[in-house]
A and B are shown apart, each in its own frame.
Chain A
C-alpha cells in the first residue's frame, strides 16, 4: 500500500474522530456520519490526535457544585474526573458525577426544538420559529402571570432569569425535590438565621448523625465523605485515632452502614435524644459552657430532658444516653448533624433545632459548624412556595410557565400534573423528555452543562466556572442565549457571564478569567460568621410524635443514593450500579424488617401494595434487619412515566405516596402513614448480593480500635496465617525455584510489581469507583433482564457484609471492593489453553481479548470470581443488548478495546493508564514516579481508600501500606500472592463481630 493512500486513510480516521462532534452538531444525529468527513488540514491547536485534553468545568448533577476535569479525546468527552483545585470535592467525584457523560451522550435527549401541534402531538420546529412564537406568547402573557421554574440555581444564569422575569413582570422560582427546609427552619429557631452552614467533618473527633445521610444525599456528599474519611479513618496521617461515628435513624442508609454504632431511635424522638444529650453535657459540665446568658438559657430549656425522663419515650436506655453524651463531649470535637430520615417527621424543625442546641452546648458551633461559608442550596425556594405556585396554576393565574432543570411532574406527581394542565402555555428547556417536558407545549432543549458556559456558587466563597468541553451533540441551544434573545438583549450568554465576572473583578480581568477557566473557578475563604443562641431558642421543645393507632404503617420515602430524586434514572451506569445498602439495581423496593415480614408471611420479592391517603404503589419487598420493625422504607428515583428508555415504566414511583401539602416549616413530609397489603405477585429481585448462603466466609477482617492502636509493624493480628509455619520453607524454596525458572526473555531483569492497597476503614461503599471503572474501561451495561441472570460486567464490585451486633441486628457494614487481585501465582493463567490470560513482566495478570476463545476455565479457577464473560455482543448496533446506542458510543474510551461476544474480560489495573504514564515518562526521559499513575477507581474515590503503586519501590505509598500491620490478603492461604493488600476495617466497638 503506497504512502499517499496511507496518509489519506490516516487523515480520514482523524476526520472521523476529530470532526465527528462538529459534524453531528450540524446534522443532529448519532455519531460521525461518514459523508461529512473533515480531515485535520488545519489542526485545532489544542488537539493532538491520540492525546487527551483536559478541561476544567463544574458538575451540575446536583447542587453541590463539585469541580470536574473532562478528559477529551478527538472532540469527544470520554471521562470525568474530579478537579483537585476545587475546595469542595478536592479532585474526587461520586458515581452520579461520573455518569454526567451519559447525560451528555444520552440517546434519548431532545435533539431539536419541538412544539405541540393542534392534535396534541409534538412536531419539530426550527429555532427561529420557536423563538418568534415564544416572543409572542411572552408578550400576550405579560400581566397574566409568568413564572420561571428552575432547579437550584445560584448562578449567573439564575441572575439572568431573575432579571428577565423582572423585565416581563414574572417571577423566578427555584425548586429542589429534597430541599432542606427543616434544616433552615431549625437554624432559624436556634440561631435566628435561615442559612445552611457548612460542616467540617474532617476535624470532627466524634460524629453523631441524626439521620443526616452526608455520605450519599445530604447537602454536599463528596465534600463530606472526603472529610468524613479523614476523620473516621484509622491513622489517616494523624496520631493513631479514629473519630467514632454514631448514627441515629430508623433505617440504615449508606451513611448509616459506615457508623460504628447504629441507634434505631423511635422516629420523631431524635430531638428528644439530642436535648437529653445536651442536658447531660450542661448539667455535668462536660464542655466549656458558652457565655453566662446563653448558659442560663440553655439550662432553662433543657429542664425536663434528663435522660431518665425521656429514655423510655426514645426507646433506648438511660445509661446509653449518658454514655453517648460523655463520649460526645469528652471527644473534644463532637459534631452532631441532623437531616434526611430524622427531618422527615412533622416535628423535623424542632429536631434540627434540638441538634443545634446540642452542637451549641458542646461548642461545635463556629468551629465545626461554620456559618458564613453558607451553602447555596439553602436559598432555594421552599416546598411551600412550590405548592403556592401550584394553587395559582390550578386557579389559572399562571398564563406562561417556563421549566428548566426541574421535574416536579415526577416528584409531585398528581398535584403538579393537574395544576400544569391549567396553565395556558408551558415551555420546557429540558434536555430530556421528562414527565414535565412531556406535559409542556413547547420544548426548547438546553445544552448539556458540558456543552455550555455557566457558573455556579455552591457555597459562599466558591464560584465554580463552567465551560463547554465538546461541540453540541444535538441541535440544542443554551437557554441563556434564548433568554437574552427573548429579552431583546444582544450578545450570547457567554458575554453576559463574562460581564458578570468583570463586574466582580474588573482589574486585570483576562488574567482573572483565565485563572477561573484553568482552575475551574475562583475559590476564596468565606469570612466566618459567629452565631449566638437566638431569643427564639428558648421556645425549642422536643416532643414525641403521637402513636397513631390502626394497622397503618410508617412509610419513609428516602432519596435514592444513586438515582437521587430520579434524575439519574435515565443513565444506564447509575441504573446498573447496585444500591449500596440493598445491592438492588434497575428497580425500586420496600425495606421490611424480618419480624414484620414474618407477621405478614412475606418473602423477599413479594409485592407489597402501599396505599397512603395520597396514592398507592406496589413495591417488591426486600427483607432486611437494617430497618426498624415498625417502619417501611422505599427509595425514590424510579417509576418514571417518561424520561427515556432507561427510566420509563421501570418499577414504582415512591413520590406517588407522598402528599403535596407543606408542613408548618414550609417543607415536605417524606414520611406517610400507609396501609400495606400483600398482593400475591412476586418478582426476582435484581441484586448482586449472593444467594442462599451465610456470607463473608473470611474475606473481610475487622479490628477493634483498641487492638488496632496496639499494633506495631510486623504484627499479624488476624486469625489465619498467610503461610503456616511448617510450610514456610517449602513455599519459599518452591517460590524461588519457580521464579528463577520463569525469569526468561521479557521476564528477566528488574520490573515494577504493580499493586493496590485498599483501606476498608475508609471505604464507605458509595460505588463511585464502580461507575468510574465502567467509564474508563468501556464496560457494557447489560440491563435488568441479564443482570437478574447474574451477568453484570462490573469488574469492580462492592461486597457489603453486615456487622451484626449481639442482638443479631446489624451494627453497620464492612464494604469490600472486590476486583482482580493480579495474583503473583494466578490460578487463572495456567489453565488457559491459548495464553489469553498471562502474566506480564510487571506483574499484571493480563487478559488478551483478541486471543481469548472463551473456554471460561480461567473464571472457574479464579477464587475471587472477578472475571466476566461477554455472553452476548453488547456492542452490536441495534442488537438486543446494545449497551452503547448512538450517541452513547461516543463516550467509549479510545484507549480500551470494546470486547466482542464470547471473550472473557477483567480488571487490569487500568493498564492503559499505566502504559500511558510509562510512555510519558519515557518522553520526558525519566522513570515513572509514585503517583504518576492513578487507576480510575483510585482517582475518583471520595474517601481516598484506594492507593496504586509499585510494590518493588520501597518509597512508594503502596509499599508502605502493604507493610501496614492491618494489611492482609484475601484468601492468602491459597498462595495466590495477590497484589492487592486490604487494610482491615477498624471499629470503635470493643468486640466487633467479623463481617
Chain B
C-alpha cells in the first residue's frame, strides 16, 4: 500500500499485527474454519470474502451494525433543520404572497421531507465509513491477499508465536488451500 500522510498513516496503517492468514477456495471450508476457531475460543479473527455471505455472518454471530443509529439521528436532524430553515427565514422578513400566511406549513413539508432524506443518507455514509475505519484500526495492519476481492475467502487469526502452530493446523484441517504466517 502507498504511504499516507502523517495522521492518516496512524489511522489506516497501524503497526503490523502478528498472526496467521488462511486462504480458502470454498465457502463451506471457510465456515468450518470459523466454527472451529470460535470453538477454540478465538474471537478477534477477521474473515475476508469477495461478497457478503449470510452464512459467514451467521457463523460469526455478530451483533447488528450500529449504522442505523446514524441514519435515524441524521434523519431527525434533517427534518428539524428543514422546519427551522423554512419558518425562520419566512418570518425573518415577512412578505405576503397571494394572500397566504407568511409561514404556511403545508408547502414547507416538502422541504422538511427532502432535508430528512438528505441528512439521513449523508449520516448513513458517515456511519459506514466511521465504523469500518474504526474496525480496521482495532485490527491493526493485518495480512491481506488481492484474491480476496476476486474468488477467495480468507481468515486472519492474530496469534503470537506460542499459539500460531495450533491455529495453523486448525486452518489446514478446515481446508485452507494456503496458510501464511506473519
Partners in one complex: yes
Residue pair A838, B95 in contact (C-beta under 8 Å): yes
What are 28 A-B contacts with C-beta separation under 8 Å? A737-B101, A738-B99, A738-B101, A741-B100, A741-B101, A741-B102, A742-B96, A742-B99, A742-B100, A742-B101, A744-B91, A744-B96, A744-B102, A745-B94, A747-B94, A825-B100, A826-B98, A828-B98, A829-B98, A830-B98, A835-B97, A838-B95, A838-B96, A838-B97, A839-B95, A839-B96, A839-B98, A839-B99
The 10 closest A-B pairs by CB, nearest first: A741-B101, A829-B97, A825-B99, A830-B98, A829-B98, A830-B97, A745-B94, A744-B94, A742-B96, A839-B96
How far, in whole Å, are A897 and B100 apart by their CA atoms in the complex?
Answer: 29
Interface string of A827-843 (1 = CB under 8 A from B): 11110100101110000
A169 CB within 8 Å of chain B: no
In Å, the complex CA distance between A737 and B100 comes to 9
- A603 to B98, alpha carbons, bound, how many Å? 44
Does A973 have its Cβ within 8 Å of any Cβ on chain B?
no
CB distance from A789 to the nearest CB of B (A): 30
| Shortest beta-carbon distance from A628 to chain B in Å | 50
Inter-chain contact B98/A735, CB cutoff 8 Å? no
Whether the Cβ atoms of A738 and B100 lie closer than 8 Å is: yes
> Which B residues are in CB contact (< 8 Å) with A838?
95-97
Q: Are B94 and A830 in contact (CB under 8 A)?
A: no
Q: Shortest distance in angstroms between A976's beta carbon and chain B's nearest beta carbon?
A: 9
Contact with B along A729-742 (1 / 0, CB 8 A): 00000010111011
Identify the interface centre among B94, B97, B100: most chain A CB within 10 Å of its CB. B97
Residue of chain B at shortest CB distance from A746: B94
A977 at the A/B interface (Cβ < 8 Å)?
yes
Pick the residue among A744, A824, A828, A835 that contacts B99 (CB under 8 A). A824
Give the A-B contact count at a CB cut-off of 8 A: 51
Contact residues of A between 740 and 787, Cβ < 8 Å to B: 741-742, 744-747
User: Hey, which bits of chain A sit against chain B, CB under 8 A?
Assistant: 735, 737-739, 741-742, 744-747, 823-830, 832, 835, 837-839, 977
A490 to B82, CA, bound (A): 84
Inter-subunit contact A827/B98 (CB<8 Å): yes
Q: CA of A735 to CA of B96 in the docked complex: distance in angstroms?
A: 14
Residues of chain A contacted by B95 (CB below 8 angstroms): 835, 838-839
Query: What string of 1s and 0s marks CB contacts (under 8 Å) between B14-57 and chain A?
Result: 00000000000000000000000000000000000000000000
Chain B, 92-126, contact with A by CB distance < 8 Å: what is the 0/1 string? 00111111111010000000000000000000000
Determine the residue in chain B with the shortest Cβ distance to A828: B98
Q: A823-B98, A838-B95 are in contact. List 18 more A-B contacts (CB 8 A).
A: A738-B99, A741-B100, A741-B101, A742-B100, A742-B101, A742-B102, A744-B91, A744-B94, A745-B94, A824-B99, A825-B99, A825-B100, A826-B98, A827-B98, A828-B98, A830-B98, A839-B97, A977-B99
Minimum CB–CB distance for A732 against chain B, Å:
13
Q: Which residue of A lies closest to B104 (CB)?
A: A741
In this complex, the member of B94, B96, B97, B104 whose beta carbon has the largest number of chain A beta carbons within 10 angstroms is: B96
* A974 to B: closest C-beta gap in Å: 12
- Main secondary structure on chain B at its contact with chain A? loop
Give A824 to B101 CA distance when docked, in angstroms: 13
Contacts of A745 in B (CB 8 A): 94
A742 to B95, CA, bound (A): 8
| B96 adjacent to A747 (CB under 8 Å) | yes
Interface centre among B98, B99, B100, B101 (most CB of A within 10 A): B98
Which residues of A are found within 8 Å of B100, using beta-carbon distances? 738, 741-742, 825, 830
Chain B: interface residue total (CB-CB under 8 A): 11
Across-interface contacts of A739 in B (CB, < 8 A): 99
Residue of B nearest to A737 (CB): B101
Report the bound CA distance from A741 to B97 in whole Å: 12
**Assembly CA distance A739 to B101 (angstroms):** 7
Contact, CB under 8 Å: A735 / B99: yes
Residues of chain B within 8 A (CB-CB) of A735 are 99
Shortest CB distance B78–A (Å): 21
Q: How far is the CA of A832 from the CA of B100 in the complex (A)?
A: 14
Query: A298 vs B91: C-alpha distance in the bound complex, in angstroms?
Result: 82
Chain A residues near B94 (CB-CB < 8 A): 744-747
The docked-state distance in angstroms from the alpha carbon of A519 to that of B91 is: 53
Q: Which B-chain residue is minimally distant from A744 (CB atoms)?
A: B94
* A-facing residues in B127-179 (Cβ within 8 Å): none
CA distance A865 to B98 in the complex (A): 16
Query: Interface digits, B71-101 against A, CB 8 Å rule (1 contact, 0 not)?
Result: 0000000000000000000010011111111
* Interfacial chain A residues near B96, Cβ < 8 Å: 742, 744, 747, 838-839
A828 to B101, alpha carbons, bound, how many Å? 15
Return B107 CB to nearest CB of chain A, in Å: 8
| Distance in angstroms between the alpha carbons of A586 and B96 in the assembled complex | 41
CB nearest neighbor in B for A861 = B98
Residue from A741, A742, A838, A839 with most neighbouring chain B CB atoms (10 Å): A742
- Minimum CB–CB distance for B18 against chain A, Å: 62
By a CB distance below 8 angstroms, the chain A residues around B101 are 737-738, 741-742
Write out the residue numbers on chain B whose beta carbons fall within 8 Å of the beta carbon of A746: 94
Considering the complex, give the chain A residue whose CB is closest to the CB of B102: A744
- Please measure, in the bound complex, the distance between the C-alpha atom of A932 and the C-alpha atom of B96, giving whole angstroms: 27
Report the minimum CB–CB distance from A853 to chain B (whole Å). 16
Chain A residues with CB under 8 A of B104: 741
**What's the minimum C-beta distance from A196 to chain B, rounded to whole angstroms?**
56
How far in angstroms is the closest Cβ of chain B from A497?
Answer: 57
Min C-beta distance of B93 to chain A, whole Å: 8
- A741: B residues at CB distance < 8 A: 100-102, 104
A contact residues around B91 at 8 Å (CB): 744
Docked complex Cα distance between A829 and B104 (Å): 14
Shortest B110–chain A CB gap in Å is 13
How near does chain A come to B45, taking the closest CB pair, in angstroms? Answer: 57
Q: Which residue of B lies closest to A826 (CB)?
A: B98
Which residues of B have CB within 8 Å of A832?
Answer: 97
Docked pose: A746 CA to B91 CA in angstroms: 12
Which residues in B have their C-beta under 8 angstroms from that of A825?
98-100
Alpha-carbon distance between A738 and B100 when the two chains are bound, in angstroms: 5
Minimum C-beta distance from A155 to chain B (A): 56
Q: Complex Cα distance A745/B96, Å?
A: 10
What is the bound-complex CA distance between A898 and B99, given in angstroms?
29
Distance of A995 Cα from B63 Cα, bound (Å): 78
Nearest Cβ in chain B — how far from A841, in angstroms? 8
What are the residues of chain B within 8 A of A737 when measuring CB–CB?
101
The CA-CA distance from A741 to B91 in the complex, in Å, is 12
User: B17 → chain A, closest Cβ, in Å?
Assistant: 56
| Residue numbers in B under 8 Å from A830 (CB-CB) | 97-98, 100
Quick one: closest A residue to B103, CB to CB? Answer: A741
Distance in angstroms from B19 CB to nearest chain A CB is 60
Q: How far is the CA of A744 from the CA of B103 in the complex (A)?
A: 11
Distance from B114 Cβ to chain A, minimum over Cβ atoms (Å) = 15
- The smallest beta-carbon distance between B11 and chain A, in angstroms, is 43
Per the bound structure, the CA–CA distance linking A828 and B94 in Å amounts to 18
**Nearest chain B CB to A279 CB, angstrom units:** 63
Q: How far is the CB of A861 from chain B (nearest CB, A)?
A: 9
Residues of A close to B102: CB separation below 8 A: 741-742, 744
Quote the shortest CB–CB distance from B104 to chain A (angstroms): 8
CA distance A746 to B96 in the complex (A): 10
**Residue numbers in A under 8 Å from B97 (CB-CB):** 826, 829-830, 832, 835, 837-839
Residue of A nearest to B91 (CB): A744
Q: How far is the CA of A283 from the CA of B94 in the complex (A)?
A: 76
Distance in angstroms between the alpha carbons of A201 and B104 in the assembled complex? 57
* Distance of A747 Cα from B99 Cα, bound (Å): 11
Instruction: Give the Cβ gap from A977 to chain B, nearest Cβ, in Å.
Output: 7
Instruction: Report how far A824 CA is from B97 CA in the complex, Å.
Output: 9
In chain B, what residue has the closest Cβ to A824? B99
* Distance A746 CA – B93 CA, assembled complex (angstroms): 10
With a cutoff of 8 Å between Cβ atoms, the chain A residues found around residue B99 in the complex are: 735, 738-739, 742, 824-826, 839, 977
Give Cα A746–Cα B98 distance, bound, in whole angstroms.
16
Q: What distance in Å separates the Cβ of A975 from its nearest Cβ neighbour in chain B?
A: 9
